[in-house]
Amino acid sequence: MNDLGNKSTETICELCQIELNRLAEVELITDEEMDILEQPNRMVSANLEVKMDDGSVRTFPSFRIQYNNARGPTKGGIRFHPSVSQDETEELAFLMTLKCAVVNIPYGGAKGGVVVDPSQLSEQELERLSREYIRAYHDVIGPKKDIPAPDINTNGTIMGWMMDEYERIEGEKSPGVITGKPPKLGGSKGRTSATSLGGAIITDLFVDDQGWDNKNTDVAIQGFGNVGSWLAKFLHERGYNVVAVSDVAGAIYDPNGIDIEALFDQYEENGDLFEMDGVDEIGNDELLTMDVDLLIPAAIEDQITEDNMEDIQASAIVEMANGPTTPTADEHLRDRGIPVVPDILANAGGVTVSYFEWLQNISYEYWNKEKVQKKLENYMKDAYKNVKEKQNDEETSLREAAYLRAIDRVKAAEQARGR
């Protein structure tokens, strides 16, 4: 394991620097605040050696970056993906720092990743890789240090393996070391759909501020994985007209609104959007440029870019994926008067319920689903109210307001510590 220690000499990720520079240019943050957020506290890397089923040994590069811990132990997911890199992990850890501060939970931000295509591994190889990750990073994580969680291509099963490995090393039970676990291992009820429920709550508040009627609001959702499918379900139940959804294979469209209840059940069973009756098949690119009230990118990063920003016709955008809008495209949309509800606010429901899971784990007190969802609603409403107040005070965009609110809280914690 290579531990570069506190305040490495590496430069901040490109996206992070662009966003901070934008605020500094209009004198919304100071040089002191830039110094706090320009570099991560700690960057750790390790090459994970894993025995394959055929007896060979493969090496998988991996990372864990703890960006800022002024407000509490760091928090962030672990993703398994071939495109994982140090820069991407740093960017996501930076965003997690801001996300936790926006919803005012007592965490800093972190992120981890392994360069691997998990679809090419057997279940036994995947378990060995998961346990090896914990063995490599055991010394820098823990319920009072840094608490991992699932991310792309990781899930409750993998979190269970990781928790078990940590407990084997420690020699004692420690359910609070990882969140996103199955409920039978201490996972919180309501966690699976928490990101989407939080996004639906934020969408309701935003739509109400716009003076729109949700029953006359057309919505296109890019992505029908866990986040996109649950969000479509929640919005459909609230009366929104979900006219288009997509996955990696393409998109379906019905101007009168898709029967999301039927689609949700069908997709859960066979993973195929195109067996739905009465819909048109379109491309993902076409979905992004549809003339709808709300466009919701809920898949992966960098979907609204310089290549398609001029073709965006949606009246507003709610970011449920992490970083789906590039800085250049974001500035273009702002100039056109298209509001964007930023990811660090819109998709913060997941980390909020992860915080609830951690609270339940360290107190050995477990809550019912209704209590979890009510507490989530309160946190999301408070977060939106605080960001909106900041937007009005500074006469800026929702994204800049969310960044400023988060930076205020990180700065206050740093100052209280005398750092």
User: Is the CB of residue 251 less than 8 Å from the CB of residue 281?
Assistant: yes
DSSP 142: B
Q: Tell me which residues are annotated as active site.
A: 111
Show the tokens assigned to 112: 């981890």
Residue with tokens 């700690």: 42
* Best CA proximity match to 295, nearest among 315, 280, 322: 315
Show the tokens assigned to 355: 């915080």
Name the CA dihedral angle for 20, 23, 24, 27, rounded to a multiple of 10 degrees.
-160
DSSP 121: S
Question: What are the distances in angstroms from CA 397 to CA 80, 343, 392?
Answer: 33, 13, 9
Q: Which residues contact 234 (CB under 8 A, 6 or more apart)?
A: 193, 196, 197, 199, 200
Type of residue numbered 344: I
Which helix or strand (DSSP H or E) is residue 282 part of? strand 280-282
What CA–CA distance (Å, rounded) separates 271 from 294? 25
What CA–CA distance (Å, rounded) separates 260 from 250? 17
Q: Report the DSSP pairing between strands 250-253 and 280-282.
A: antiparallel
Overall residue count recorded for the chain in this entry: 419
